[in-house]
Chains A and B, each alone.
Chain A
């Protein structure tokens, strides 16, 4: 085998999809596909990140994303440490940068960060030498979630280009929505959003998306619905009158999707509020690919870790040709 020129595919950090090119996004999805097979093996582990230390720095509660990252890291043979905000120095008032610098002093290689403040992942990436992966920062981006959504859509529809994807629900507070809008549009999808005006950013049109204020219209238009979780605390904050009211007006129900003119694909990033934004018979029904999303999540995160872990381009040049 002769060496194909090694390239720095993603740069040092993965902060969001807004700053990636369509080619880079496709590269991650194409890389993720063969990684799925590793999770089907009897020994679900390959040695590619052996000796790398990865810190999962989760300042916000997360089960699925944290576990998905941890599986991805372990299946690539990395050593992992999990740090939450409770019971750590964060609670004692240490700043984000100090926490990260202390970790770096213990010689880590990567940080996966979830934080409540928009921009925190980039802030950290600019200040430490380790690779930084954004696992959700405030209302800004959640790139690996959008990547796994896109991989799932591509699996089931064979393409992203030309598809009509509608994001339903609380777009205002949703980093998943933002990452999906950036990523889907770059890959050539038409994107719409649907939900109460109170849960839409004021200038939603500036994102280059359609807006539907009726779920029925969205379902008639769309090939794919990505149904966002409605954070229950939004009700208390006055964004919606009640959960029951929300379900009545915007809920994705079987009755509604049965009227869809096309074979709908239904995604949900989880965790679901059954009976609020999505009904159980839709979530468990034939159009739902929600568990495929979870499976793809591990593969996408393995791909991102693998691509970021590669060497610097100058070293790559020097080592070229030392193959086989």
Chain B
């Protein structure tokens, strides 16, 4: 078995700079934070959403409400990949989502199925005025007509490659790595 090959795509500084730019892009589009709420997708989108919100607070002087969403129960592939046993917390941002401008934050956009599930789930909770999709990495490979609005970095990853976003709360450090699986791994 060949070892999987790991390549560093972004170090901690690069991630921080990308988040700072994404925060600026968000408030530029929303013209401030008055109607803005942010939703992090479990699991690593939650940490990224917190960091985006902190960055927006630094720039605008006000912190948008932040919520979390676990989309597992809205996936379209339960019977093919099996259940993920322990779900993360789903907690709407303070003030709910009706009439708000929502920014969904996730770590990686790949097939688009996670974003599709998130949109379906949010529709069951209410009717936001506008939804933006914000991801740290757009790795290409979409299977649905869904595109992120705000992107930290775009790459073209191959099907046998995995993009791993690392956050300190889960992984002990910050960064983005591209993993190429060994031929038999």
Contacts and interface: CB of A to CB of B under 8 A. Distances in A.
A306 B83 CA distance: 7
B105 to A, nearest CB: 12
Chain A's interface: helix, strand, loop or mixed, by majority?
loop
Contacts of B75: 48
Interface in B79-137: 79-91, 106-111, 113-114, 120-121, 124-125
B73 interface: yes
Interface residues of B, number: 39
A7 B162 contact: no
A321 B162 contact: yes
Given A34-B87, A35-B87, A319-B77, A1 B82 contact: no
Interface stretch (A37-45, A151-159, A201-209): A37-45
Q: Which of A43, A45, A47, A307 has the most CB of B within 10 A?
A: A47
Contacts, number: 107
A311 B162 contact: no
Interface string B135-148: 00000000000000
A315 B72 CA distance: 18
A314 to B, nearest CB: 10
Contacts of A41: 124-125
Interface residues of A, number: 39
Interface of B: 41, 43-45, 70, 72-75, 77-91, 106-111, 113-114, 120-121, 124-125, 162-164
12 contacts: A1-B107, A1-B114, A7-B85, A34-B70, A37-B89, A46-B121, A306-B73, A310-B78, A313-B82, A316-B80, A318-B80, A319-B81
Interface of A: 1-4, 6-9, 27, 30-31, 34-35, 37-38, 41-43, 45-48, 76, 306-307, 309-313, 315-316, 318-324
